[in-house]
Structures are given as structure tokens and as C-alpha cells.
Amino acid sequence: MMPCPDTKQTTERTATPSGFPVPLIVLPETGSTNNYLSQLCNEQEAAVKEFTTVIAERQTAGKGQRGNSWESEDYRNLTFSFVLYPTFIEARRQFLLSQFISLSIKEELDEWTEGISIKWPNDIYWHEKKICGILIENDLTGHHIGRCIAGIGVNINQEVFRSDAPNPVSLKQITGQEHDRYLILARIMKRIAHYYLLLQASPADDVARNIAGRYARALFRKEGFHRYADAEGEFLARLLRVEPDGRFFLEDREGRERGYLFKEVQYLL
């Protein structure tokens, strides 16, 4: 295991499960896997291969969207980050990364239960409850993406949530069964690699359209009118579409089309 200043080790558990499909670093404890992996890339980028994944059994400062923290019981869930170097993807198309990463997790969880969807831009929900959060941090090189670090928290075996988060749920709460976290992680990373390598081999529009179509069909609340709030207040609207650049379009009860960038609109649960 490569050292990093952000790591606070409390045990010696660093073994990689046999046959794991990507380079894996297992940390007993760290503040944030995104921060750890970012530092590692900054210090030893030539040695950090694409798809290198860092998982922490205990994460003390996990980051979520909007500056939120992520609650995760030690040794019960998946808190991990991985790195890509997608220099073949233009910066204007960076939402593709969010689409196929969230799709990979959604499609893996579909293997274990029904009712999984993607809440724009990339939270993963089981019905009206949140099972996974994703934070994607892209570094741009000119007009292209030089590096992408995605941090992911998936609730797997946690049975009780104690934070003030309004709607967490775990796979065990849904299925009533204990799950092999490393098996699910391996399968998620295989799906991510599949989508990524398809784009890399053929970054033509048809591959991007296929991903966008799958993403659109997977969206949370894609049917009917639901409650939202923006700077003008609360309103009812139905989902129209998500544009390739990630913009989110709704139509309200009065027939007015409303377009939003990330953080400009809020789902009301």
C-alpha cells in the first residue's frame, strides 16, 4: 500500500480480495477517499493506474454533494473512490462521466432488488430513499478532462442510521440479507470499466446517445408531477429531459418549461 499524509491507519487490514478486477488499495481508516486518492495522484501520478480504487473501512470525513457529510458504519458499507484519465472526453461533455458512473451502480443494484433509480444528477435511490451518493471531481486540461476522481458511498449492510439525513436506506434493509461488499464493488468497477472502454474505443455520438438513453430511462420520478423548489419557491412539475451538458428541464402545471443547472433546483421528498 502506498503511503499518503491523509491516511490514519488503525489496523493492518490491507489485503486485496483475490482476483479483484482493478488495482485496489484497502485503507483501515482515512478522512476522505477522494482526498487520499487525489493526493496520491498528485504525488505519484505515473504510478497510479487508471481505475485504481481506494476503499476505506472507516471514513471520518466523507464528502457529499452540497458540502454534506456521508454517514457510514465501519465495515458495513462501501466508501470508495477511483481515478480515470479521460483525456479523450471534451470538457463540455463531462456529464457523460456522471451518467455512466451512476448507471453502473444503478444497474448493479438492479441485480439485487427492484425499485432502483437515478435522482438527477447522480444520487441512487430505492423508491423514495437514498442508497448511494456520488461526488465527481474533474480536473480539466485545456478543452478536455485530464483526470476524474469519483467518490462513492453505497449503503450495503448498515441496519440503523443515526444522522439527520432524511431518507437513507441500505441494501440489507431492503432485502433482509447480508451482502458481500467486495463482490458488489468488483461488479460495479467492471460495469464502470465496460462503459468507459466503450467510450474510449469509439467516442462517437452513438455510444454517448446509448448512455444518455439508458440514463433517461433510469431517472427518478420520470413519470407524473412532483414537488420541487427553486429560487422562486415550491412548485409542481414533471420531468421533460436532461440535456447532454447535464441541464435538467421540467414543465410546471402552467405548461412553463424550466431549465436548471446543478444546485439550482431541489427535489421535495
Q: Which of 17-26, 202-211, 214-223 has the highest mean pLDDT?
A: 214-223
d(Cα 80, Cα 244) in Å, to the nearest integer? 27
Structure pTM? 0.91
Residues 233 and 101 in one domain: no
Residues 198 and 251 in one domain: no
Q: For position 203, which CATH number holds?
A: 3.30.930.10
Contact 117, 125 (CB under 8 A): yes
Which of 186, 153, 148 minimizes the C-alpha distance to 58?
Answer: 153
| Other Cβ atoms closer than 10 A to 126 | 21
Q: Is the pLDDT of residue 7 over 50?
A: no
Contact 30, 8 (CB under 8 A): yes
Tell me how many degrees the CA angle 62-17-30 measures, rounded to the nearest 5. Answer: 20
Question: In this predicted model, what pLDDT tens digit does every residue of 239-259 receive, in sequence order?
Answer: 999 999 999 999 999 999 999
The pLDDT score that the predictor gives to residue 71 is 81
Question: In this predicted model, what pLDDT tens digit does every residue of 21-79 receive, in sequence order?
Answer: 999 999 999 999 999 999 999 999 889 999 999 999 998 876 654 555 668 899 999 99
Residues 46 and 82 in one domain: yes
d(Cα 99, Cα 92) in Å, to the nearest integer? 14
Residues 188 and 241 in one domain: no
Indicate the range of 13-27, 36-50, 77-91, 167-181 predicted with least confidence: 13-27
The mean per-residue pLDDT over the stretch 103-125 comes to 98
Across the beta sheet with 266-267, the strand order is 257-260, 248-252, 233-242, 225-230, 266-267
Q: Is the pLDDT of residue 171 over 90?
A: yes
The pLDDT score that the predictor gives to residue 172 is 98
Task: Note down the domain range covering 239.
Answer: 225-267
Number of domains in the chain: 2
d(Cα 124, Cα 93) in Å, to the nearest integer? 21
In a domain, 202, yes or no: yes
The pLDDT score that the predictor gives to residue 9 is 36
Q: Is the pLDDT of residue 113 over 60?
A: yes
